[in-house]
Structure 1
Amino acid sequence: MLTSRALVTRVLRIKSIGCLYNCAVIRLKMSEESGSTLTKPQKRVEEENGESVDNGHIRKKLKCNMEPNADDRKHPKRKVVLLLAYSGKGYYGMQRNAGSSQFKTIEDELVTALIKSGCIPDNHGDDMKKMSFQRCARTDKGVSAAGQVVSLKLWMIEGLMEKINSNLPPQIRVLGLKRVTGGFNSKNNCDARTYSYMLPTVAFAPKDYDTHNSAAFRLDPGTLQIVNRLFASYKGTHNFHNFTSQKAARDPSARRYITEMSCGEPFVRGGTEFAEITVRGQSFMMHQIRKMIGLVIAVVKGYSGEEVLKRTWGEEKVDVPKAPGLGLVLEKVHFDRYNKRFGGDGLHECLEWTVEEQAILAFKEAHIYPSIVETECQEGSMVSWMATLPIHDFEATATGTQVKDKGQDDDDEEGNGSDSAL
């Protein structure tokens, strides 16, 4: 049995609870009459979509409902890479120039096609960061590509590649598409890049050769051996500050690693003999490839001795000629480390394009090679450039250092096209 004191304590407690209940009822009636709601204490609340938000914060699901084309949200958004091939003739390079519609680029055409295809929202065209867009290389004005790779997030709509290509001009094509990891960046994950440079073999003719009959020139095997010996000297790691206009002699980033450089056997197209130079390296600076080729041409033609190549790797400033941009093609980009880590995880594919090789070759034969041959035969850009070689003084040096342009991106420009493009 309860003692009298315990009994009194329980009665008081019951009265206290009843008082609190009555107060709560009164407050609820007052709020209903005024049409207001009671303010709940600050706490984490579980929303219907599983997202927890603080009281007073905008709910994530409301933000999602504000996105354009809400019907397309039924399609999953994924990080992918696109394999691009394009002829650069008539375009001001790869990279988009926001707000400059008069200088049309490859990316202008691509973004327009992505929007028309319904795989990105309209507002992503104005701000490409919204789709995490990144390119492997910024090819310059007039330069082509057979194996450019871009990474971005897309809605995985049905018939994606076909819809994109249907909204692209014939000289630009998406030849492949693959899923990649969420953090993949086509520029930062790229281990190396391979370029080719197609030129008329008259470029290696003696300097006293009559260029009015350039189509009749044929490269002899002995000269081809000399050309390849000179190109082989570029292999390895060297200081290429003299092969760009943006690097000081002691800038560590001027040191670049070249794994391959050679010239293939000549072939005849349109009555003119051509040859194709192949170069592979980790990355290239602006105009580096064109200057590497230009210097070898100057040596083979007899404007300078072979010792000039080693001198360019020193700290002295050397006048290095820059070969024309016509003929430079981004052939392939390499993702060896990514492939080793993720290519066999069962979720992602290796970023190799063996299945697409025939489509790549067919595109080059239809769009890239004819454009290079026709332009060279009609305009004679190589012959015109060779006429400027005598004005270069390969023996003189300058003590001044080159100043890097802070507004310019150092890497993977791959140095092409016109001087004004970048």
Structure 2
Amino acid sequence: MNIMDVSVKDQKDDGFKTTTEQTKNGLRERRSIVEDKGKNGKMQQKQQQRDGVSPGEKHENLYVALRELPAFSHLNRQVQEIVNQSTWWEIRGTDWAVLFSALAVTLLCLPLMRINNWWTLVVGGVLSGIAHASLTVKGGHLATHGVLSTSRFWNKIWTRFFIEFLGSYSSHMTHEYHIKLHHPHTNIIGLGDSSSWKMPGLSRFPYMFVAPMALPIITPFVAISQMWGLWKPMFLFACVVLSGYTSNVLLLVYISRFSVAGAIAFIILNRAVMMIPYIHVNIFQHIGLSMYSKDDRPTRLYQMATGVLNLNRNPLLDYCFGLGISNCHVEHHLFPKLSDNMCLKIKPVVSAFFKQHNLPYQERNYSERLHLFVDKYEELMVNAPTILHFVGIQ
């Protein structure tokens, strides 16, 4: 058995930082790397089958002194004080302004693309593609979490509008996968482990730089396959998506003077503009970090501290996907009911709290994560991840 200190240093194996010291008598956190070799092969095989992994994988036992883990309620009180002192503009207005700006860009690009010039067509297509990503990803994400309004009714309307009408994916399945699985079971093997983003049949460059361009075509069909048998939600979804596509085609035909075939082709290309970074952001922030067994999962605060990563500020990513997905993902996972702007506002408090209690606060550059995933694609995106068994010591 090899014992590895979890200290303040870059972990070259998986590209993230941990910040807890190892001390005597097992009172502080230490990570024991246990090779998958034991005295009792049958017991080992049963354990592997229970965890949903194949023989020959590496396991880690993570021993943590529970008395040293801070209570989430302490951080929650600090955040609630900030929220109570914030204005409506800070809580919701700023994010609505971003969404309205994206809608305005989309509408302004329609007459721009009417000009018989390739440059205006390209500029209009790229700008409206960026705006579309902001509306569907940022808007859909906020609506799914019920952030855009205090009314459940209006949040459902906005969810259908941003995710289904504009984005052609199912709001029903978004709630099932994102709210019920991903958030409560972040990086728990077999539940919210981000495995749905993996396609082991594709090699690194097709997956990272080519396959995402097909998402606008396959997205509605994937949604239908996921909802098959749920006839009412599937019927409503089909109606909303068809009305969204029809509206988009009509706008392009009557304002931008496209043919029907040209309008359909443009919609597909337009929606693919930000799909490559969209895939990247979704895999960069969880895969390659700590993964836990569902039978030995950590406390919520430690789970989010070790299983979630922020990307450094990037104006394009922040605008298209929202700060809660890009730069403040840790804060979003801790407080999913807060808007993107509020996640940014509480970020210094969360960061200081983590550092004060020796919890890892993980943050990386987009380019750094991209290099890591291209370099270690097989390890991160094809092979099953190492599982941590969380053992709390009183």
**Shorter-chain TM-score range:** under 0.3
Larger radius of gyration: 1
Q: What TM-score do the two structures reach when normalised by structure 2?
A: 0.25
| More relative contact order, 1 or 2 (CA 8 Å, 6+ apart) | 2
Higher helix share: 2
Higher strand share: 1
